[in-house]
Structure 1
């Protein structure tokens, strides 16, 4: 196999469901409709279930830090190498992941590696090895790993949305009567409020990322704001009112 995707280790729980969702997401990209996916682990002693083999998944019994297993999975020829944490809640998982990353560095393959890291303080050590990306284990969304492969960097944006560390979403009441979406976005950004990403319609429906020229009708906005500066509802409404006033006067 060449130009395949290798996944080292497997989730502690619900691994069949995880791998099925992971590969189904990969297959949505026409570039990877037929890309072989190789699982390298020891968690399927009786082989893969038909639900996984039917998706074009192959199993190599072994460990990524054994040279024989390394060769049998042809990691040298892999397009992407994903290293999963054995237990997403145990810091000890980072030791194994670090060892695997170091081996990839020795083989000059670190730049192809996306690795999971349980403890944030261990991220820097892994990143210094030259890996492509270091992310938290988020078992409910294997799609994040897929984004890391297809659009490197986007996985960090998605991951940031799960925390309050830097940026997060806040819902603000704002009555909209057919306003152009680009004007709504401009009003918030010009006032340094944040970046509107969705509009809540009057019936409660969520309109995510409307087209720039779309006329929106709604009761609220979902805005991506900085954690260190969370605008008040009054500031959001005044920002929109100020923009409309200046627009009309122009």
Structure 2
């Protein structure tokens, strides 16, 4: 029986590119996102590649969503060998002036739903002694991010969580990889209302296709942390030795509006 990949945030950007790579690699797909029209288009494209694709329109800010996704996969009798936790979003602005409900939704999508999906599918993977999990974080995970404080903190959680469970599972035949891309040409900045942010002028944007390729190769080789791009690798290392007050000031400058 063919193995299945579950991909959240599969309608565009990095998630869409990873779904294509998985389809090319022989996986069937369960595609999860909020945009039903975009999902239908992706489904058609993947099926033209020879993959069987199911779509599940789901908002991961709903606490019940992870269980519904898991039960959907069980109902389809899918052998989920690859879980890609890609769904996520950011907000921009001073924390006390941002909408509290949206900030809590960010934590639900970026952290809580990711943890729940990992826990649900991981049990089956451990029982089979086979499976791969790809959690998409960000280079934001390595530093504080004034004007995007909640988002940066959520990605720091994803990185630490992924590294921790990866070590726990070393003898279980299951791998956990955390992909940490830098700024990427996706819908992220538009949705975060950051079209006037300085970061768009001062930091080069990565191609989501290349980011997805590096992440997918990392999953296949069992790497724990994948930082896409040389510049991003240098950045991730530099923040470890730079004064924290300086890192905060630079992050605030880049995340603020022009």
Q: TM-score, normalised by structure 1?
A: 0.49
Higher helix share: 2
Higher strand share: 1
Higher RCO (C-alpha 8 Å, min separation 6): 2
Q: TM-score, normalised by structure 2?
A: 0.48
